[in-house]
Structure 1
Amino acid sequence: MNLVIDIGNTVAKVAIFNDNSLVEVFRSSNQYLDCLPEVLTKFQIRQGILASVIDLSQKITEQLEALSFPVTRLNIDTQLPIKNLYRTPETLGNDRLASVIGANDICPKKDILVIDAGTCITYDFIDAKGRYLGGNISPGKAMRFKAMHKFTGKLPLIDEKGIRHSLGEDTETAIREGVLRGMEFEIQGYIDFLKKDYPGLLVFLTGGDGFLFETNLKNLIFADDFLVLKGLNRILNYNDGRI
């Protein structure tokens, strides 16, 4: 069994894989892996991999050091099953890299756009030759709501829950529709832009906020909340030489 740990800006995901098959996923704090004792009791783990977009807490560092099996920490020196053409690979988020590797493993030899809608929205592209060409980053949903409140004098802080109108009929609905519809149009815009050069483009949507959209995007997108975990497992198996 493989242990895969993805530590994000808000939560950590801990997954168990049997070769390529996802067995179970646990969610935990990104400061302490409270699910780890249960995982270690329940499964016989041979190796692990960890990726983090934040500095590891002392508690998690101690948990990892106590493990009886090797854990690969994804970094710039880790061997990859794709070609990374990012000009500054040392600054590339591990989650972005893992997500395109996961998508490439699911649909090899395809042009793929991966959209991860979380704290930020990231757009990452890997071509049919398995070359990661780069991507873009924009504010996520919560960040957009908070920014309008913080950087203005009178706009209230609201969230996505509540009444929606195509055109806002008051300040609350104007903000809500502006954020949510703006994200939807942004996502569709990136898809349309890349389809001009890559007509066979496949689109993967991942991240918690991505699944809020009830739009025509569903006809274009493979929704996979575990894409980063699958990519990390692919990297682990690739370095182990088994798959």
Structure 2
Amino acid sequence: MNLIVDIGNTNTKVAHCDNGEVITFDCYDDFAEEIFNSYTAQCPVIVSSTKILPKEFLQSRFEKILVFDHKTPIPIKNLYDTPETLGMDRLAAAVGAWEQAPESEILIFDFGTAITIDRVSKRGEYLGGAIAPGMGMRFAALHHFTDRLPLVGAGELAGQGDSGVFTSKVVVDNNTKACPLAHLLPPPKNTTAAILHGVIKGIEHEINGYIEEISPEKIFFTGGDAKYFVNSAKKPIFADYHLVIKGLDRILNYNA
């Protein structure tokens, strides 16, 4: 049993994995040392973070700990020009996708605070990718940088309906629910609807633009906002909310 800790820009995710399967999963609003009081200190631990880590605390708390950074050996080749600046969550997602679809050209969309689009070659090479503002960031920017546009958020999104059902072209893991939005919206006739339509449709066009340009063999969606876009791609996708967690688990086992 491995303990996986993924400290992101917004949330801290903690999971137990066994033989590549996620057994338990918890998500916290932020990082705090108290989070780890309820987790056993004996099992192997891997920690990935977008923030400065309290290494001394973690090393004192856990007996077998691997802090994942750009020097950590991984089962794919990293061709990023500046590996020290690469977000480790992006690299972990690439490992998780490659583990599920080896010898395939892979495109990974991670819908988090930022939206990242990353590529893995069929030779198992991480090729890099793109970083774009996430959905919440786009809503916030429209409000912050204008005088009159309202802040649109989760409440308005929820009001657009949740089908709870994936289309047949989507392969789903860990029971994530689909929540299609923009294609259900009528032509926007008020400001809130216009913002929703502009942001969601813009992201949909980005998704399909990258897919059309790159023509990958396998497409993975992950991240907290993935549920809003799983029906947006014009090609079959794999939706896996735990892709980064599974990648970190694979990296921990690889270094065992």
Letter of the aligned partner of 1:206 in structure 2? T
Q: Cα RMSD between the aligned structures?
A: 1.9
Tell me the equivalent position of 2:181. Answer: none
Q: Does 1:177 align with 2:197?
A: yes
Distance, in Å, in 1 between the alignment partners of 2:234 and 2:56 is 42
- Contact 1:26–1:35 under 8 Å retained in 2: no
Deviation string 1:147-178 (CA, Å, 9 cap, x unpaired) is: 11111222121123445634210111111111
How many Å apart are 1:36 and its aligned residue?
Answer: 2.3
The count of residues paired between Structure 1 and Structure 2 equals 230
Runs of 4+ in structure 1 deviating by more than 6 angstroms, as ranges, are none
Tell me the equivalent position of 1:226. Answer: 242
Deviation string 1:173-218 (CA, Å, 9 cap, x unpaired) is: 11111111111121111111111xx4xx210000011111363538
Determine which of 73, 81, 106 is the counterpart of 2:75: 81
Letter of the aligned partner of 1:25 in structure 2? F
Deviation string 1:87-112 (CA, Å, 9 cap, x unpaired) is: 10011000000000000011111111
- Contact 1:206–1:227 under 8 Å retained in 2: yes
How many Å apart are 1:63 and its aligned residue?
Answer: 4.3
Q: 1:134 to 1:168 in 2, by over 3 A?
A: same
Q: 1:216 to 1:138 in 2, by over 3 A?
A: closer
Q: Percent identity?
A: 42
Q: Does 1:54 align with 2:70?
A: no
* TM-score calculated relative to the size of structure 1: 0.88
How many Å apart are 1:115 and its aligned residue?
Answer: 0.3
- Contact 2:221–2:230 under 8 Å retained in 1: no
In structure 1, the residue corresponding to 2:39 is in which secondary structure? helix
Tell me the equivalent position of 2:224. Answer: 208
- Contact 2:230–2:239 under 8 Å retained in 1: no
* TM-score calculated relative to the size of structure 2: 0.84
Query: Larger deviation: 28-37 or 9-18?
Result: 28-37
Distance, in Å, in 2 between the alignment partners of 1:178 and 1:237 is 43
Tell me the equivalent position of 1:104. Answer: 98
Tell me the equivalent position of 2:11. Answer: 11
Q: 1:182 to 1:166 in 2, by over 3 A?
A: farther
Distance, in Å, in 2 between the alignment partners of 1:218 and 1:39 is 42
Determine which of 188, 204, 210 is the counterpart of 1:190: 210
* Long gaps (5+) in structure 2: 161-183
Tell me the equivalent position of 1:122. Answer: 116
* Long gaps (5+) in structure 1: none
Letter of the aligned partner of 1:48 in structure 2? V
Letter of the aligned partner of 1:185 in structure 2? H
In structure 2, the residue corresponding to 1:26 is in which secondary structure? strand
